[in-house]
Structure 1
Amino acid sequence: MMTDTDKNLFNLDELSGYKVAEDYNDVRGWNVKDANNRTVGKVDHLLVNKIAERVVYLDVEVDTVLIEEGYNTYQDRVSAGVHEFLNKEGENHLIIPIGMAIIDEENKLVTTGQIDSSTFAKAKRFKKEDVIDFAYELNTIRHYRRDKTIHSSNNVDGFYEREEFNNGFQKRDLE
């Protein structure tokens, strides 16, 4: 179990003095679509890293269709003796690095051009009240990038300088 002192991600609304900057959209409640334009879920929270002093993840409440797909994915694997991870009942949240999200202001939609629904379906999820630790963050980036070489020697210092967090909350100019 992690203690709050180890916690480096906070919901925007639990931090006083943090709010969505005026020139950015508050995307909470917006639908999230994957690279193939399939609905993944809805943005539930914005996760802030206090050191980076900005939003670094979207916390997404996952659509039940995706949960069922993810569950079926593991039925076969488990019987074959290969065990990645099994999402338990109630684990229906995912994080998306802010730099991997595209804000479509006109349609009030968040899209993820780089991540498809099968990748989302196979991602390790968490319960809404869980504290997200850094190991989970690392594993998520590895999974989305399909890159096992992202080393665990990465630590929180400088981690949010990675391209997955770039440009964070960019608005897409429609001009």
Structure 2
Amino acid sequence: MADKKKNLYYLNELSDWKVDSDDPDVRGWKVKDKDNRVVGKVDNLLVSKSKEKVVYLDVEVDTSIIEANHKPYGKSASADVHEFVNKDGENHLIIPIGHARLNEDEKYVYTDKIDHQTFAETKRKERGIDVDRDYEVVVLESYNRNDGNRNYNEQTTRTADRDLENRSQTTGTSERERRQVDPATESDLDTGRSERTRIANEGEIGNNRASEGRYPDDDSLYEGEDFDRSNYRRRS
């Protein structure tokens, strides 16, 4: 990768940079998942020079992550298939600073969101390799997939209900009123459920096709919640 296009630097590449005086140097600290299970240790820190801050922890994974032998999470826009594999020698992961918490008393880093299986199902990299935006997005999508799916499903259900309500109002009778007036109209309700499913499925197809645009291409990415440091220094 040409230097002018490089977004992120390892801290040890920057001779005039050092860890913020308010932060402990966590290199060498163990990293634990949300269930207090060790997933590795911090090997390095990744810095955005444009934002002048650490944005990722570079973690050398524990052997338990490698031995789990899960295929990395990553789906094409058109099919539920894996696109990635972890190769021999790829034993590092990155964790966004917004997902990291510090236990300064016992000197370890932990996350209260990501479990061992999710770490094991995330695409790894080789030690010291340049981190590009494509890899960042793959990792962020892996860590955020459960929250994203839950929020998305809630949104599509609300949208489907609203569309059904709007369509019913054109005839002067809402689905809720039909249920109250004639509880026996089960076929109408079944039709409503089918319609809700269809609308939600249409939305899911659209969401999959647009998944590549969920994260910005520029350094405004590091202004998002994945990189919010407000809980990083929170004492356990």
| TM bracket (short chain) | 0.7 to 0.9
Q: How many residues align?
A: 165
TM-score normalized with structure 2 length = 0.65
How far 1:167 moved relative to its partner? 1.5
Secondary structure in structure 2 of the residue aligned to 1:158: helix
Distance 2:16 2:231 in 1: 18
Residue 49 of structure 2 corresponds to residue 50 of structure 1: yes
8 A contact 1:24–1:170 mirrored in 2: no
Secondary structure in structure 2 of the residue aligned to 1:137: helix
Partner amino acid for 1:165? F
Residue 162 of structure 2 corresponds to residue 163 of structure 1: no
Partner amino acid for 2:16? G
Equivalent runs, 1:125-164 vs 2, <5 Å: 125-146=124-145, 147=148, 149=211, 151=213, 154-164=216-226
Distance 2:6 2:137 in 1: 14
Distance 1:150 1:43 in 2: 29
How far 1:142 moved relative to its partner? 1.1
Give structure 1 regions of 4+ aligned residues with deviation exceeding 2 angstroms: 2-5, 81-84, 147-153
Equivalent runs, 1:72-151 vs 2, <5 Å: 73-74=70-71, 82-146=81-145, 147=148, 149=211, 151=213
Partner amino acid for 1:4? D
8 A contact 2:215–2:221 mirrored in 1: no
Asked which structure has the greater CA Rg, the reply is 2
Name the counterpart of 1:38.
37
- Shift of the 122–84 alpha-carbon distance from structure 1 to 2, 3 Å rule, reads farther
How far 1:126 moved relative to its partner? 0.3
Name the counterpart of 1:78.
none
Distance 2:8 2:230 in 1: 15
8 A contact 2:66–2:91 mirrored in 1: yes
How far 1:82 moved relative to its partner? 4.4
Higher relative contact order, chain-length normalized (CA < 8 Å, sep 6+): 1
How far 1:153 moved relative to its partner? 5.7
Distance 1:126 1:57 in 2: 14
Deviations 1:103-138 (A, max 9, x none): 110010100111111100010000013211011111
Partner amino acid for 1:85? F
8 A contact 2:102–2:235 mirrored in 1: no
Secondary structure in structure 1 of the residue aligned to 2:109: strand
Partner amino acid for 2:35? N
Provide structure 1 residue ranges, at least 5 long, that are not aligned to the other structure.
75-80
Higher helix proportion (structure 1 or 2): 2
- Shift of the 40–99 alpha-carbon distance from structure 1 to 2, 3 Å rule, reads same
Partner amino acid for 2:59? V
How far 1:169 moved relative to its partner? 7.7
Distance 2:3 2:231 in 1: 26
Partner amino acid for 1:162? G
How far 1:173 moved relative to its partner? 3.4
Secondary structure in structure 1 of the residue aligned to 2:216: coil
8 A contact 2:96–2:226 mirrored in 1: yes
Secondary structure in structure 2 of the residue aligned to 1:92: strand
8 A contact 1:31–1:41 mirrored in 2: yes
